[in-house]
Structures are given as structure tokens and as C-alpha cells.
Amino acid sequence: MQYLTLLSILFPCIMGAALFVWKPTDRIIRNRYSITVVLITSALVLGTAFCTWTYGGDSVAVTIARISKHLVFEFRPDNVATIFGCIIGVLWPVTTIYAFNYMEHEGNDNMFFGFFIITFGVVAGIAYSANFFTLYICYEFMTLVTLPLVMHSMDAKARSAGKKYVLYSMTGAALVFIALMYFVQYSDSLSFTYGGILDLARTAGHESELMLVFVLAFFGFGVKAAIFPFHRWLPAASVAPTPVTALLHAVAVVKSGAFAVMRLIYFGFGIGFLRGTWAQYVVLAAAAITVIFGSCMSLRMPHLKRRLAYSTVSNLAYILVAFAAMSPLGLLGGLLHMVFHAVIKITLFFCAGSILHNSHLEYVYEMEGMSKKQPITCAVFVVASLALMGIPPLGGFISKWTIATASAANLSWAGYLGAAALIVSAILTTLYMMSVVVRFYFPLKNAPALSDHCHEADARMTGPLVFLTVLMIVLSLASSGLYSWIGGMV
Amino acid sequence: MILSLMVFLPIVAALAAYPITRKSEKAGNVLIIGVTLAVFAMALSLLAGSLSGAQIPGFCGSGLNFSCGSMQTVMALIAAFMWLMTALASPEYFDHARCNARYYMFYLWTLGALMGVFLAADLMTLFIFFEIMSFTSYVWVVQNETPEAIKASETYLFVAVIGGLTMLMGIFLLYASCGTLSFHELPELAAKMSDSRKLVIGICILVGFGAKAGMFPLHIWLPKAHPVAPAPASALLSGILTKSGIFGVVVLSFHVLDSFGHTWGNLLLVPAVITMVLGAVLAVFSTDLKRTLACSSMSQIGFILTGIAMACLLGEHGGIAAYGTMLHMLNHSLIKLTLFVAAGVVYFNVHSLNLNDVRGFGRDKPLLMVTFLMGACSIAGIPGFSGYISKTLIHESIVEYIHELAHHGANVLPYQVAEWLFLFSGGLTFAYMARLFYIIFIAKKPHHQHQKEGRYMGSLTALVLIVGGALMPILGLTAHSTMDKIAEFAVHFFHRHAMDHAVHYFAWINLKGAVISITVGIAVFALVGMMWLTKRKDGEEEYINVWPQKLDLDDYAYRPALKGLAFIGAVAARCVETLAAILVMGPVNLIFTGAEKEVIPPEDEEFSKYDTTSERSLVQRSFNYDLLCAMLGVAALMIFVIINL
């Protein structure tokens, strides 16, 4: 059964790479090939998750290489990993279907789908990795395979964005590397252990040094999660084709960053070591600042996709606030928000992409009265916006409430700052989302009419949209189940 | 079960209302009347049985908890009654209107949400439905889609959202301190908090509820939003939605901060009195029928809040203030129902609400005149009508507190001023209602007045007006056997003792206040209303607007403040961001030297534009080279790791 894990990572990598060699010219064949590969991978990823729940992580663990005592290349899913696995396993096929329509006019499809499929495997690798060494390797690899996707259009803007992306990621990786070295120094094994892997006998006397290393590593992984001040690559990367921005920059890549931060805090340094120290306050405050900052910037962006990108910055910081709360409740809140934000933000990006692709509009002020032209897209947008704002009973509310409770439970200034930031940001979220929704449905009387070229997307775009909305509503209504399910696993 | 049904039946029915009304407006009308009737019947049944409450565990994490009894039942009953009445009046008003499918859907949704607010058994449930209600009622305000409606709805939404989230912060702190939000357990646990914490929590939650109630300084949305909504929706917004805010303030004052009564009462009294006076002054100067009524609502909310503040100050013996508060909530709902529906009748005949256009409209319409008069008398506090009873009770409570303080030899001046302002506002109420009545029913018609053909109102609307209008003298004249009983039933929720002796409403000591108010009112009506605000030219009257248009807190303070804050936030963020960019990109520029111009695409429309900068490069620049360097670095690090082990 261990091959399940191995296959879910290797299979997409090989099959994706095959597209570069094979280079099919027929669109239909390529699409069929891509969706088949993605669906099989999905089944493998979800199957691995399922086996982990039923038979435990050890039954699917696979060791590929053992370089030394510390450096073991190994995959071993645990419960937390399966949550991330489920997110990508469900959302990848949906995005692939959406991408077929979207990519029709973008060109260079073989390269796009090739890397798109490879990324699936790499992200699954991040999810299922067993130790920091494996996580680090996969993490680096992800930067490289997603780069061509960001730069897909290869114009000046895209290349500049890609360059920024790589430089920021490399900076982050360098910071993380320091932590990796310290782990080798101060622990017996790099395998994730809830509660931390540091050998406290050895760390005695070096606490402040390790705190500094933690802060650096937090920001290092935080780069991918777009933590302030290392967030600039994310809005720039919104030049990429929408399926990429939607899936990678709202779900896979950024969530990998948040996921890695979670591993670092709960499975690396351990909350017992960090809780109540200055290191916790620094990262909590940084995350809280990012929450506000992202919302502020989002409010000022007239470009819809960039507005959503900054909103992602803000929402990822919610997750980081939760993880930085360093309590089991924080872990629960962060994972919940990972799930909800993934579904909500991918939906919003799909809506933006649908408008961009079908009506060729990018700026919010151009979209007055859009609901007449693209009713389904706009309706979906409204539901997703309400969920993002956290209007009960939609999903965002429960996760934000949990995060705020976890943060305030710290009873420190940073904890209250985190909770207050969440509330302020909720106001800003309402402002920046509602100002779009209001334009869709209640246009100004003197607004120029939309051209006749604006039209609703075809079923391959609206299908994923509707599916995601239904998924969102179901998740919201089942939020208590989800809450106790995740609560039982962490 | 019945409680959950009251909440969720309208919410589910709303989903059906949209397609049904799209298909056939008749069916839609039947549907909303049927649903509101069902809810009303269920609300009535609450009076009979002793329900223990309902739970929906797990919903939204903490689960939903409902309970009923006491004030909750009364409020639910009033709400259901208001909805039923407006449902009856809606078909005529929305005849030929566009988008009424949308209106009906949100109409039912709001009913469900409001039921959730009134029947909530804990603050969390209350908050959840309160938020839903804010969003669904937003659509009412924007319904007409005129520029004013869009602007007003914007203000409404912002105030509601900011208020709601400030409230969430308060709820959150409360939860962190007490570990529970249930009304049942809160009083005991909340009493243990420190005073400063109570203050912070109180203010946070008050901002949320006060914003919905229209309390100064969060009233800005109210005079704008109520007039632009369709008339049945205005009646509900003014009559009952504001009460949800008041209900929240009651919960806050008597379930959370009861042990903090003295300070809290004083704190609440200040905005309450300002709201009361300001609303009345705005109403006197208004030249728009519905705006006058909306400002009047604001003023009456001030009266109610004053009642709550007095109940806090009087402590256990605040029964009289609690009676007054409860009854004024009830009266105000019924009065505003009648008056706004009457205003709706005027509007769909004349298609204007400007007093200059509608004057004389009601000269030959006795039914409209009588029902409007009932509402006007009641709200003005004429003895014999329901409004008089509740105002007298609140007034008495102020007097009682003054006596109590004088007895202890404390300074009574602030409360004396509050009492005078109370009577003065009562006088202004009389003045603006008298002016409205004079203009609509006595003044001469302009020649060009638009008039709908056929009957000026349908039978259902007439029924609503008659029921609403008749209730006022009936309640007012049988106060001891009707209103006192209702108040006695509800006062339990205030944690105050019921009054042990009945108030003699028609004794001179109680009538005195009303007489003073009415005298002031007549003077203001004659001097300000008829002389200052009315211009006469060739026997024609013109009502002028002397209120400076620019004196608008929203335009002058809140919007610029909001914009300014967003701007400052963005500038600050931008500065730090640039520093971060130097941190990350700086070393790159140090390593690579040699000139090559490069286009930097804009990344932020607000702060940057396309420009060229010279970047230095060590070697001929190419992306692959950068990548190669980066990968070499990674490889070197890897080797370093492996060697070190």
C-alpha cells in the first residue's frame, strides 16, 4: 500500500513531463490526457488520505533514500497532512476542467498542462512529506515547477513577476535552511513530531538563539504564505493565467507556505518551547499586521484579480495568526480556515477569470451592471463574497471565530492585537467585496453600458463555479461536522 | 420545534418566493401573506404554551439556541404582526413595480432573521441573525435603485457592518471573560468582571446595537435610508428593525451589565437624550414626508433609550421605566406602521413625498385623515392615546429618580435637564406631527397635483390603516387592562420587579407633563412651523427647507474619515513595503553591475506608473542566468549540509 503515496507523487510528475516529449497537437487528445492523469492522481491522493485514516500513516509510509541519520527522504502522511491532501485532491480536477476553456486562447498548452500536472505531484509531496528535509526539497521543487506557469505569457510583465517570485522564494528558502541546520544540530531526527523535535537537554542555554532562528524560518516559509513584508510576489503573480492564480496562488502554493509554517511551529520547534516567548509575539504581530495590510491594499485595488490577490495575502495571514496562537485551538482554526479559504478564494478567482475571459474586463469600475450579462458568475461571486466576509452561517464565520478565540486566549498584547486585527479586517473585507457586489447588481445610473460582447461563460466554466459554490454551502452547513472532524484529528 | 419553524419557515419560503413571484405576482402575494400569517399564528401560540426552547446544536460551531417568553414573545408577536400588516399592504404598493420578486425574497428572509434575533437564547445566536438581517434589509433600502437609494444603502451597509463587527469584538471579549453567552447564565457570571472590562464590552456591543437602533452619533443612516425604501419596507425599518437594536441594548443593559447599572445608566442617558432631541429637531425642519417620519423614529428611539437608561439608574425599582420602555417600543411600532403605510398611500397617488407637492392631498379623504390623526395623536402623546401612556411612564421614572436623588441630597441638575429636554422633545413631536397633519389634510391643494385614477387606495391597505389606527385609542383608553398586562408580562426580561401599584394615568400629576409638552408643541408649531418655515405668496403656501444641506455628519465626518484612514493605511503599508523590497531586492542590485535599462511594469495603479530604471548587472543579464545562480546556491547549500553531518 505504500506505493499509493509514492505513486500519488511520482505519477503526475512523470505523466506531466511526458507532455513535453510527446507534444500532442490535438487539443481534444491533450485535454483528455490531462484530465485522466489529474483524476487518477486525485484518486491516488485521496486514496492515500483514506488509507491514513483507516490504517494509520505507517501503512502508507515510504522511504526513498536515507542519506544520513537526519537526512531521510521519506513520505509519511499524518492526519494534518490528509486535510491538505483532500483540499488539493478535490480542487485540482475542478481547476483542470476550468482551465480547458480558459486556456484555449492562451497558447503553448503543452507546457502549461505539463507543469500544471507536475505541480500536483509536488504539492502532494509537500503534504505527505515525513520530515523537514523532504518538506524542504519538495518546497524548493515547487518553486521551480510553478515558475513557468507564472511566466506563461512571457511578456515583460509576466517575466518581471516570475523573477520576483523566484527571488522572494529563494530568500525564504535561505532563511528556512538556517532552521534546518539547527534542527540537525539540536535534535535526533527531523521527522515531524507533534510537540516538537528539539532535544531540550541540548538546547539549554541556546534558547534565544533558537528563537531567532525560529523567527527567521517563520518568515522564510512565510514568504510563500505571503507574509508581510515578503508578500510582493503574490499580487505581481496575478498576471498568470487565471487557473494558475486561482489554484496555485490561492490554494496550492500559498497554502503550502502556511502548511509548512504549521509544521515548523507544531511539529518542529513545538508550542511548549515557543508559547509565551518574544518569538511568538513577533510572529503573531507580523501576521496581525499582514491581516490589516492585505485588506487595506485590497481595498485600494481597482483591478479585480489583484484585489483578490491582496485579499489572499490578508486571509493567509488569518491562518498564520491561528498557527501563531500556538494552541490546539489555533491549529484547528488555521486548518479550518485553510479549507474554507481554499474553496472560497478559488471560486472568486474563477469568477474573476470568467469575467476576464468572456467579457474582457479587468477593472472593477468597468463592471457596472455585470449581473445582467453574466448572471451565474455574479450570483456565485455574491455567495463566495459573503462567505469570505464571514457572514454567518457561511463557512468563513466559524473559522474566523475560532481563530479569534484562539488568538485572544493567549491573553497577551499580541493575542489581542491578532483578534482585533481580525475584526478590523472583517470590516475591510466587507468594504472591498461589497463594493464589487454592489457594482454588479446596482449599477450607477450614468455608468456606461456594457458592450454586447460580454456574455456568460460556457458550461466548462460555469460548471466548476456552480460545483464549488455547492461545495462551499455544503461545507458551511456541515461546518460543525468539519469542526469536530478536524478537531478530533489534531 | 415551533421556535425553529418560526425562524426557518420564512427563510426557506424566501427561496421559493423569488421564482414564484417571477412567474406570477398574484401567487407571490398569496405566498407572502400566507407565510406571514403562519408566522403570526405561531407567534400567538407562544403566548399560550410554556415552551422550553429549541436548540440546533453544532450550527456555526456553537449551535443555535432559541427561547421564548416574556419580552421575547412580545417582540416576536409585534414583529409578526407588523409583517402581516405590511404583507397585506404590499400587493397594492408593488403593483407594476419592478423587481418585486427580489423584494419579496428579502422581505421573507428578513422576517426569519428578525425572528432569530428576538427568539435567541444566547448572544451568539442573536449576533448571527442580527448580521443576516443587516444584509437582507440592505436590499430593501437599495430596492428603488435611484442614486439617493444607492448612496443611502451604502451608508446603511457601512454603519451596519462596522457596528456589527465592533459588536462582535465586544461579544468576543465577553465570551473570553465569562465563557458563556447564554442569557440565562450571563447575569451571574458577567457580574464578576472588572468594571473597566464591563465598560469596554458595554461600549463595543452598544456601538453595534446602537447603530441599528439609530442612536446618536450612529444615526446617520437612518434619516437617509428610511425615506428611500418602499413604504412597507420603511414601516418595517422604522417600526421594528430599529427595535432589534433596542432589544439588543436591553439584553446588554439588563443581562450583561445589570451589576454596572449606575455608571451604565448615566453613560446611556447622554446619547439617548441627544438622539431624542436631535431627531425631533430634524423632523421639524424636514420638508419630506417620509424623512419627517424617519427623523421622528430616531427621536422616539431616543425616548426608548432614555427609558432603558432610567431603568438602569433606578436599579431594582426600575419597574416603571421598564414598563415605559416596553410599551413605547410597542406603541412606536404600531404608530409607525400606520403612518408609513399612510405615507405610502400618498406616494403612490402623488408620486412625490415633498411636502410642497403632497399638500392638501388628504382634504377629501376622511379614512386616511382619521387613521393618520390617530397615529399623530398617539405619537404626540395626547392623553387618551397609547403613546401618552408610555411617555408618561418614562417621564415618571425620571421624576422618581430625581426625587430619589433629592432625598439623598445629591445633585439633581443633570436629570432635571434631561426631564426638561424630555418634555421639550415631546413638544416638538406634537409640533411636527401637527404640521404634517396641517399640510396634508388642511392646506390647499396645488393645481398641478398628480392624482392616480380610480380609488386612492385598495381595500387591503384600508384594512391595515383601520386596524393600526384603531389600536391606538383602544390601547390608550384601556391601559390598565391591556398595556399594563403586556408590560407586566414582559418586564421579567428586564430583571425588574413588576410595579406593585397601578399608575393613575389620568391624574393631574401625570397629565401635567403632557400639558406642558402640548403647550410647547403648539407654540413651536405656530411660531416655527407656520411662520418661519412657511412662505406665503398669492395665497399659495410654500414650505421651505432652511436646514443647511451641508450639515451632514456622514458627508462631513464619516466618509472622509473612512477614506482618510484607508489612504493612511495604504501609504503606511506602501512605505514599509518599499523597505521590504530593498531588503529582498537590494543585494541583487549590489551584485549585478553594468547598465541596462529595463521596463518595470506597474503593479499598483494607485501609486506607480510605467517607468524605466537603470539596473546594474554584472554580466549580460538573462533570466536563465539568474536561475542558474540561484540553483548553484541551493546546490552549494545542500553539499554543505551533507558534508557537515
> Per the CB < 8 Å rule, is A180 touching B641?
yes
Question: Using CA atoms, how far apart are residues A432 and B285, in angstroms rounded to an integer?
Answer: 36
Q: Is A63 helix (H, G, I), strand (E, B) or coil?
A: strand
Nearest CA in chain A to B623: A163
A69 touches chain B (CB under 8 A): yes
Nearest CA in chain A to B177: A409
- Mean pLDDT, residues B442-470: 78
> Per the CB < 8 Å rule, is A181 touching B641?
yes
Reference A120, options A243, A234, A266; nearest CA is A243
pLDDT for position B381:
85
pLDDT for position B59:
67
- Mean pLDDT, residues B411-417: 85
pLDDT for position B613:
46
pLDDT for position B411:
83
The secondary structure of B271-303 as a DSSP string is HHHHHHHHHHHHHHH--BHHHHHHHHHHHHHHH
Nearest CA in chain B to A290: B573
Q: Who has greater pLDDT, B302 or B44?
A: B302
Reference B280, options B216, B232, B324, B231; nearest CA is B216
Element (H, E) at B587: helix B559-591
* pLDDT over 70 (residue B126): yes
B630 to chain A, minimum CA–CA distance in Å?
Answer: 7
φ/ψ region of A58 (left if φ > 0, alpha if ψ in -120 to 50, else beta) reads alpha
B165 touches chain A (CB under 8 A): yes
Contact B310, B321 (CB under 8 A): yes
The secondary structure of B348-369 as a DSSP string is HHHS--BHHHHTTTTTT-HHHH
Which residues of chain B neighbour A409 with C-beta distances below 8 Å?
Answer: 176
Nearest CA in chain A to B59: A480
The alpha helices in A189-252, defined as continuous H runs, are 200-203, 207-222, 233-236, 242-247
- Mean pLDDT, residues B45-55: 74
Highest mean pLDDT among A404-418, A440-454, B412-426, B613-627: B412-426
Q: Who has greater pLDDT, A430 or B550?
A: A430
Contact B337, B82 (CB under 8 A): yes
A77 to chain B, minimum CA–CA distance in Å?
Answer: 25
> Per the CB < 8 Å rule, is A180 touching B599?
no
Which residues of chain A neighbour B576 with C-beta distances below 8 Å?
Answer: 228-229
CB atoms within 10 A of CB A82: 23
Element (H, E) at B200: helix B195-213
Grid cell listed for B563 = 477614506
Q: In the beta sheet, which residues pair with residue B598?
A: B613
Assign 3-state DSSP to chain B and report helix, strand, coil percentages, each to 5: 75, 5, 20
Task: Read off the amino acid at residue A448.
Answer: P
Torsion of CA A314, A315, A316, A319, to 10 degrees: 120
> Per the CB < 8 Å rule, is A423 touching B606?
no
pLDDT digits 0-9 by tens, B312-358 = 888 888 888 888 898 899 999 999 988 988 888 888 888 878 878 88
Question: Using CA atoms, how far apart are residues A97 and A90, in angstroms rounded to an integer?
Answer: 12
CA angle B459–B461–B462, rounded 5-degree value: 60
Which residues of chain B neighbour A170 with C-beta distances below 8 Å?
Answer: 630, 633-634
Question: Using CA atoms, how far apart are residues A169 and A156, in angstroms rounded to an integer?
Answer: 20
Reference A116, options A135, A138, A142, A137; nearest CA is A142
Reference B125, options B187, B40, B54; nearest CA is B54
- B positions 540-569 inside 8 Å of A (CB): 566, 569
Which residues of chain A neighbour B158 with C-beta distances below 8 Å?
Answer: 431
pTM of the model: 0.80
Question: Using CA atoms, how far apart are residues B248 and B245, in angstroms rounded to an integer?
Answer: 5
* pLDDT over 50 (residue B611): no
> Per the CB < 8 Å rule, is B576 touching A229?
yes
Grid cell listed for A247 = 489554484
Which residues of chain B neighbour A228 with C-beta distances below 8 Å?
Answer: 573, 576-577, 580
* pLDDT over 60 (residue B150): yes
Q: A252: which residues sit within 8 A by CB, 6+ positions away?
A: A88, A119, A123, A142
Within B553-605, strands assigned E span: 595-600
Give the rounded distance of the alpha carbon of A35 from its chain centre: 22
pLDDT for position B301:
92
Please name the member of B128, B623, B642 whose beta carbon is closest to the beta carbon of A392.
B128
- Mean pLDDT, residues B305-313: 90
b/e per residue, B450-485, with b = 16+ CB within 10 A?
Answer: eeeeeebbbebbbebbebbbebbbebbbebeebbbe
Which residues of chain B neighbour A391 with C-beta distances below 8 Å?
Answer: 131-132, 135
> Per the CB < 8 Å rule, is B165 touching A230?
no
- Mean pLDDT, residues B445-464: 76
Give me the half-sphere count of Cα atoms (radius 13 Å) on the Cβ side of residue B116.
Answer: 29
> Per the CB < 8 Å rule, is B626 touching A163?
yes
Which residues of chain A neighbour B634 with C-beta distances below 8 Å?
Answer: 140, 170, 173
Contact B225, B237 (CB under 8 A): yes
Domain ranges of chain A: 1-274, 276-490
pLDDT for position B586:
66
Q: Tell me, what's the ipTM?
A: 0.72
- A positions 436-455 inside 8 Å of B (CB): 438, 442, 444-445
Which residues of chain B neighbour A393 with C-beta distances below 8 Å?
Answer: 59-60, 128
pLDDT digits 0-9 by tens, B105-116 = 888 889 999 988
The set of long-range contacts for B541-545, using a CB threshold of 8 Å and a minimum separation of 24, is B541/B359, B541/B443, B541/B444, B542/B356, B543/B287, B543/B355, B543/B356, B543/B359, B543/B439, B544/B287, B545/B285, B545/B286, B545/B287
Question: Using CA atoms, how far apart are residues B348 and B552, in angstroms rounded to an integer?
Answer: 29
pLDDT digits 0-9 by tens, B477-506 = 888 888 888 888 888 888 888 777 777 777
Q: Who has greater pLDDT, A444 or B298?
A: B298
Q: Is A223 helix (H, G, I), strand (E, B) or coil?
A: coil
Nearest CA in chain A to B568: A296
B504 to chain A, minimum CA–CA distance in Å?
Answer: 47
Contact B56, B111 (CB under 8 A): no
pLDDT for position A124:
93
- Would you give per-residue pLDDT tens digits along chain A (490 residues)? 778 888 899 999 999 888 888 888 888 888 899 999 999 999 999 999 998 888 888 888 888 888 888 888 999 898 889 899 999 999 999 999 888 888 887 778 888 899 999 999 999 999 999 999 999 999 999 999 999 888 888 887 888 888 888 888 888 888 899 888 888 888 888 888 888 888 888 888 888 888 999 999 999 999 999 887 788 888 888 888 888 888 888 888 899 999 999 999 999 988 888 888 889 999 998 899 889 888 888 887 888 888 899 899 999 999 999 999 888 888 999 999 999 999 999 999 999 988 888 888 888 888 888 888 888 899 999 999 999 988 877 878 888 888 888 888 877 788 888 888 888 888 888 888 988 888 888 887 777 777 777 778 888 888 889 999 999 888 888 877 778 887 777 6
Question: Using CA atoms, how far apart are residues A62 and A3, in angstroms rounded to an integer?
Answer: 7
Reference B458, options B94, B143, B135; nearest CA is B94
Q: Is B541 helix (H, G, I), strand (E, B) or coil?
A: strand
Nearest CA in chain B to A166: B627
Please name the member of B60, B166, B630 whose beta carbon is closest to the beta carbon of A170.
B630
pLDDT digits 0-9 by tens, B233-265 = 888 888 888 999 999 999 888 888 878 878 888
pLDDT for position A262:
93
- Mean pLDDT, residues B197-221: 87
Q: How confident is residue B587, by pLDDT bands cut at 50, 70 and 90?
A: low
> Per the CB < 8 Å rule, is A170 touching B606?
no
How many residue pairs bridge chain A and chain B with CB atoms within 8 Å of each other?
158
- B positions 613-632 inside 8 Å of A (CB): 623, 626-627, 630
Nearest CA in chain B to A303: B605
Which residues of chain B neighbour A156 with C-beta distances below 8 Å?
Answer: 599, 601
A272 touches chain B (CB under 8 A): no
pLDDT digits 0-9 by tens, B80-114 = 998 888 888 888 777 766 667 888 888 888 999 99
> Per the CB < 8 Å rule, is A236 touching B641?
no
Phi and psi at A95, nearest 5°, equal: -65, -35
Contact B334, B326 (CB under 8 A): no
> Per the CB < 8 Å rule, is A163 touching B644?
no
Q: How confident is residue B622, by pLDDT bands cut at 50, 70 and 90?
A: low
What angle, rounded to 10 degrees, do the helices at A395-408 and A328-359 form?
140
> Per the CB < 8 Å rule, is B623 touching A163?
yes
Q: Is A432 helix (H, G, I), strand (E, B) or coil?
A: helix
* pLDDT over 50 (residue B604): no
Q: How confident is residue B615, by pLDDT bands cut at 50, 70 and 90?
A: very low
pLDDT digits 0-9 by tens, B505-520 = 777 877 888 888 888 8
B556 to chain A, minimum CA–CA distance in Å?
Answer: 19
Question: Using CA atoms, how far apart are residues A345 and B425, in angstroms rounded to an integer?
Answer: 51
**HEC states along A101-151?**
HHHHHCCCHHHHHHHHHHHHHHHHHHHHECEHHHHHHHHHHHHHHHHHHHC
φ/ψ region of B599 (left if φ > 0, alpha if ψ in -120 to 50, else beta) reads beta
Average model confidence (pLDDT) for chain B? Answer: 81
What angle, rounded to 10 degrees, do the helices at B559-591 and A278-299 form?
110
